[in-house]
Structure 1
Amino acid sequence: MRRPLRCAGAAALCAALLGLSCAAGAADVKSGLKIAFLPKQINNPYEVIADDGGMAGIKEFNGIGKVVGPSDAGASSQVQYINTLITQKQDAIVIAANDANAVVPYLKKAMSQGIKVVTFDSDTAPEGRQLFVNQANAESIGRGQIQLVSKLMGGEGEFAILSATPNATNQNTWIKWMQDELKKPEYSKLKLVKIAYGNDDDQKSFVETQGLLQAYPNLKAIVAPTSVGIAAAARYISTSSSKGKVAVTGLGTPNQMRAFVKNGTVKAFQLWDPGQLGYLAAFAAANLASGTITGKEGESFEAGKLGKRTIGPKGEIILGPPTTFDASNIDNFNF
């Protein structure tokens, strides 16, 4: 059975996605490296942008890149792909994990055979990889979500979280920090009534939004820290009587959310550039596979147009802080 696969595109992708010339920052990287990206879901719009960014980076340093992955976000759905990539003797696997633990034994097997493993966007347990490329500091993302929704709600009322899957590492980490932020006195009038799960599926997220509005008639906001969830929630509310009454915010791409900002359904939301996240992960994997870094804290490497990056504690590399998008700036972004 053929697996879903996307290969590195033309050089034009480099320029279109990141405005890159295809040479900088690749001097220390071996040519011809085979690097495979394994997203949570092959058809997730956010993941597609991130993976395309990775392919653009691989194109720059003359690597051989491809994207393979499942069509669902189940905890063990990535295992068969890891096994295949081991058989193919890839130089590196870059994975956004659907589960922190389910894939670890298989990634450890990959590393034992000399394949470098980099997680990005959604981490595994530390023993399952050598580096983790994080979009932003997890604590700042979580706390920032509460700060933003509090502002949108006027500092009081009921709100719900519409997450991805119950076992999504990144979602759960952000939610943990959201709950911690809620303990501060300034949020004493905010009440988190429910954490719902749309499984990063558009239709399920749409139905979950409907269910939240029915179950909590006094709901003032939905926070969806997932690009699939925020778009589905906004789509439902945009054509319902809740438009203008229930705020929708969270993490989404500007292109995905632009229409909902323009029609007043969404006032503000946040994200980083997922294309740059994938691009940074590609360079991290290439430097690891080339031996210019080993994954130790304090080591640095050149990441093309993103410049010099340094490995932090526990093998973490951070892309940068998220941007808040609203009607005043959303047309300045195209991803």
Structure 2
Amino acid sequence: MRHIRFGAAAAATLLALSLAACGDGSGDGGTGSAGDSFDIAFIPGVANDAYYGSVACGIQAVAAKSGSTVETQAPKSFSPTDQIPILQAVIAKKPDVIIIAPTDSKALYAPLRQATSQGIKVVLVDTTLEDPSLAEAEVSSDNVEAGKVAAQKLVELLGGRSGSVLTVNLSAGVTTTDDREKGFAEGLASAPGLKYLGQQFSNNSVQTAASIVSATLAANADLTGIFSTAAFNTEGAVAALRSANAASRVTIVGFNANPPGVQQIEDGTVAAQVVLKPYDEGVAAAEQAINALTGEPVTKQISTGAVVATKDNLQTPEVQKYLYSFDCPAA
């Protein structure tokens, strides 16, 4: 969910080029046949985000098998205010299916219900809705489990040190990051010597995340760990620790395998990043979308896994193949 700073138009161009580069790349399943050609609309959570670039590559890999087209339109920020007008414009074009990462679990329900009432099928990817019954399928990472993995990794990295731990989250109502915090809190509960300070919300702002961490440092001299649920928060946390000369005593575990997140591992400002599998999400979402359109059986809920990247394993194939990118894998 990282909004890398270059324009949305440039991101759309880059994403279009990356999808073209996918050619006839194939996914993990055999969904669709040469006679099944559909118009697929993909609406990610935000533009300029390599995570969603990887999701798009997975969608295109499956779509290419049936000659289906994929049109991607992304909001400039991760917010329903920016996403809903794009969704409404897409509905007006009447694609066969919309694959979408809702930016709010409640606010996106009504416009998506409008889509389904017009016969447009909906598949949810990455994030979901409070009431997902309107969707053909939900495809997401198991974010509760991934949050637990993040807690385990932080405890391991702290090596028995005691102190306070803070979560910096995005905004309430984003299902993925809410689940990450839930899993993290559960995973940290049994860790001896660590006091969990709970979560604070940056509302998608790097500056707010930095202010949260600065204030927490001032109020808690024993702050020893930070869990960041998304890239905005990690960037702010890194800046705040650097400004306070506290980077050497506070360990950050984040959720970002975009290029800047990889760089944070390489330069040591972040100890570990939880890496999800967005390409696999895109493949599964497109497979279920085409199954729904062709009358094949649909799997209503699909969860993909995660790995943890550190400086020690960053160059291993198991981690490298899941780093987020706009460059689609070769066929």
Decide: shared fold, TM above 0.5.
Answer: yes
Identity in percent: 22
Q: Displacement of 1:121 after TM fit?
A: 0.9
**SS of the residue 2:245 aligns to:** coil
Look up the match of 1:43: 48
**SS of the residue 1:317 aligns to:** strand
Choose from 255, 265, 270 the match for 2:269.
Answer: 265
Deviations 1:46-82 (A, max 9, x none): 3333334433443343211122132222344322222
Whichever residue aligns with residue 323 of structure 1, its letter is V
Deviations 1:193-236 (A, max 9, x none): 14122233444434443343334332111111213322443355
Choose from 298, 301, 312 the match for 1:328.
Answer: 312
Look up the match of 2:253: 249
Q: Contact between 1:261 and 1:327, CA under 8 Å: does it hold in 2?
A: yes
Distance 1:45 1:197 in 2: 23
Aligned length: 307
Q: Contact between 2:57 and 2:282, CA under 8 Å: does it hold in 1?
A: yes
Whichever residue aligns with residue 230 of structure 2, its letter is T
Look up the match of 1:14: 22
Q: Displacement of 1:118 after TM fit?
A: 0.8
Whichever residue aligns with residue 326 of structure 1, its letter is T
Distance 1:236 1:330 in 2: 25
Q: Contact between 1:247 and 1:267, CA under 8 Å: does it hold in 2?
A: yes
Distance 1:106 1:11 in 2: 27
Q: Contact between 1:28 and 1:287, CA under 8 Å: does it hold in 2?
A: no
Q: Displacement of 1:250 after TM fit?
A: 2.3
Point out 4+ residue stretches in structure 1 off by more than 6 angstroms.
none
Whichever residue aligns with residue 79 of structure 1, its letter is I
Q: Contact between 1:14 and 1:57, CA under 8 Å: does it hold in 2?
A: no
Residue 230 (structure 1) aligned with residue 234 (structure 2): yes
Deviations 1:299-323 (A, max 9, x none): xxxxxxxxxxxx2xxx21122x211
Whichever residue aligns with residue 218 of structure 1, its letter is D
**SS of the residue 1:97 aligns to:** coil
**SS of the residue 2:168 aligns to:** strand
Look up the match of 2:223: 219
Look up the match of 2:116: 111
Whichever residue aligns with residue 13 of structure 1, its letter is A
Look up the match of 2:290: 286
Decide which moves more: 124-133 or 226-235: 226-235
Q: Contact between 1:29 and 1:287, CA under 8 Å: does it hold in 2?
A: no
**CA RMSD, Structure 1 to Structure 2 (Å):** 2.8
Decide which moves more: 84-93 or 56-65: 56-65
**SS of the residue 1:78 aligns to:** helix
Look up the match of 2:91: 86
Look up the match of 1:102: 107
Q: Contact between 1:164 and 1:171, CA under 8 Å: does it hold in 2?
A: yes
Whichever residue aligns with residue 147 of structure 1, its letter is Q
Which runs of 5 or more residues in structure 1 are unaligned?
Answer: 296-310
Cα distance, 1:260–1:287 mapped onto 2, change above 3 Å: same
Q: Contact between 1:231 and 1:252, CA under 8 Å: does it hold in 2?
A: no
Look up the match of 2:172: 166
Residue 195 (structure 1) aligned with residue 199 (structure 2): yes
Decide which moves more: 117-126 or 44-53: 44-53
Distance 1:23 1:187 in 2: 38
Residue 126 (structure 1) aligned with residue 132 (structure 2): yes
